[in-house]
C-alpha cells in the first residue's frame, strides 16, 4: 500500500499542548514541511519566542534558542551572523512581534537579515489569557478590552505583512490563513517561498499566518475557523505583498 500522508521528519512524534481548534499545530506542520522540502532540518536553528509558541523545541526536532519576549529577531540576527551557514527562523505571536518586539522586527527586516520570520496572528495574547493584542480587531472584546477595542483610545490593529513590505531589506512578505483545505494548500506554497528565499541567500522573508484561538475567543473550533475567513481576512487581507525575485 502506498503511504500518502505522514509526519514530517522535522516534527517529533509527540502530542502538542495546544487547545482544540488552535491553528498552531497546522502552522507547525507547514514549517516542518518546508524544512523537509529543502532538507535543512540538520542545519536549522529555530528561535522560540514568548507565548504559546515557546514550546516549539518540544515539537520540532531541531536546535533551538529561546528568546526573551519580543526579541526573537535580534537573537536570530546574532545566531545567523555568527553561523551564516545555518538556516534560522523565528516563530512569534502577535503580542511578541507586533507590540513588545516592534523595534527588533522592523530593524532586523530593514537590515535585510537572511532569516525567515513566521508570524502567528490570532488577534489576542493567547498564553496570558486573551488580553488585547496589537492585532485585536476594532470592537473585539478581550479580557483587557471588555467594551471592545476602541480605535480612538487603542489605535487600529497593525497590518505587519504590509508594513514590513515597505522596507527595502525585505525580500518576501505574505499573509496566509490555515482555516480551510484550500487556504492550507496556498499557505504551504507561500511557506515554501518564504523558506526558499533564505535557502538561496536572498534575504529577509516574512510570513504571517492568521490563526484561530477558540479558547480565548470564547468560540468552538468551527466558529473560530469561520471568523478567520471572514472578520479577520476582511481586515488582514490574504496575499503576497512583496516577492522581490518572483519565486
66 binds other proteins (CB under 8 A): yes
Q: For residues 199 and 194, what is the distance between their CA atoms, to the nearest angstrom?
A: 9
Using the contact rule CB under 8 A, the part of the chain among 22-30, 98-106, 143-151, 170-178 near other proteins is 98-106
Contact residue for other proteins among 7, 39, 83, 218 (CB under 8 A): 83
The answer to whether residues 174 and 83 touch, using CB atoms and an 8 Å cutoff, is: no
Sign of CA dihedral 57, 63, 64, 65: positive
Using the contact rule CB under 8 A, the part of the chain among 83-91, 154-162, 188-196, 212-220 near other proteins is 83-91
Contact residue for other proteins among 11, 30, 47, 224 (CB under 8 A): 47
Please state the separation of Cα 229 from the chain's center in Å: 17
The dihedrals phi and psi of 42, each to the nearest 5 degrees, come to -70, -20
The answer to whether residues 153 and 147 touch, using CB atoms and an 8 Å cutoff, is: no
Question: Which residue has 481576512 as its cell numbers?
Answer: 233
100 vs 233, which CB is nearer to other proteins? 100
Residue-wise over 10-49: b if at least 16 C-beta within 10 A, else e?
Answer: bbeeeebebbebbbbbbbbbbbbbbbebbebbeebbbbbb
9 vs 185, which CB is nearer to other proteins? 9
107 binds other proteins (CB under 8 A): yes
Using the contact rule CB under 8 A, the part of the chain among 82-90, 137-145, 156-164, 204-212 near other proteins is 82-90
128 vs 243, which CB is nearer to other proteins? 128
13 vs 85, which CB is nearer to other proteins? 85
Provide the binding-site residues for other proteins, judged by CB under 8 A: 41-45, 47-48, 54, 57, 61-68, 71, 74-83, 85-87, 103-104, 106-107, 111
Amino acid at each position: 500500500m502506498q503511504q500518502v500522508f505522514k509526519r514530517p521528519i522535522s516534527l517529533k512524534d509527540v502530542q502538542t499542548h495546544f487547545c482544540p481548534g488552535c491553528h498552531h499545530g497546522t502552522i507547525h506542520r507547514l514549517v516542518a514541511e518546508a524544512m523537509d522540502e529543502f532538507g535543512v532540518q540538520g542545519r536549522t536553528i529555530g528561535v522560540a519566542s514568548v507565548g504559546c509558541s515557546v514550546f516549539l523545541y518540544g515539537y520540532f526536532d531541531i536546535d533551538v534558542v529561546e528568546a526573551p519576549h519580543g526579541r526573537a529577531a535580534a537573537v536570530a540576527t546574532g545566531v545567523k551572523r555568527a553561523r551564516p551557514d545555518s538556516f534560522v527562523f523565528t516563530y512569534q505571536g502577535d503580542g511578541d512581534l507586533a507590540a513588545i518586539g516592534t523595534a527588533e522586527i522592523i530593524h532586523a527586516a530593514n537590515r535585510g537579515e537572511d532569516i525567515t520570520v513566521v508570524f502567528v496572528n490570532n488577534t489576542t495574547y493567547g498564553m496570558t489569557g486573551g488580553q488585547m493584542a496589537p492585532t485585536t480587531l476594532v470592537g473585539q472584546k478581550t479580557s483587557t478590552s471588555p467594551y471592545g477595542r476602541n480605535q480612538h483610545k487603542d489605535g487600529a490593529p497593525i497590518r505587519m505583512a504590509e508594513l514590513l513590505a515597505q522596507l527595502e531589506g525585505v525580500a518576501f512578505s505574505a499573509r496566509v490563513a490555515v482555516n480551510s483545505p484550500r487556504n492550507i494548500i496556498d499557505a504551504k506554497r507561500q511557506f515554501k517561498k518564504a523558506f526558499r528565499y533564505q535557502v538561496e541567500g536572498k534575504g529577509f522573508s516574512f510570513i504571517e499566518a492568521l490563526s484561530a484561538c477558540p479558547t480565548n475567543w470564547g468560540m468552538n473550533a468551527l466558529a473560530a475557523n469561520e471568523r478567520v475567513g471572514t472578520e479577520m481576512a476582511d481586515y488582514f487581507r490574504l496575499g503576497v505583498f512583496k516577492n522581490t525575485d518572483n519565486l
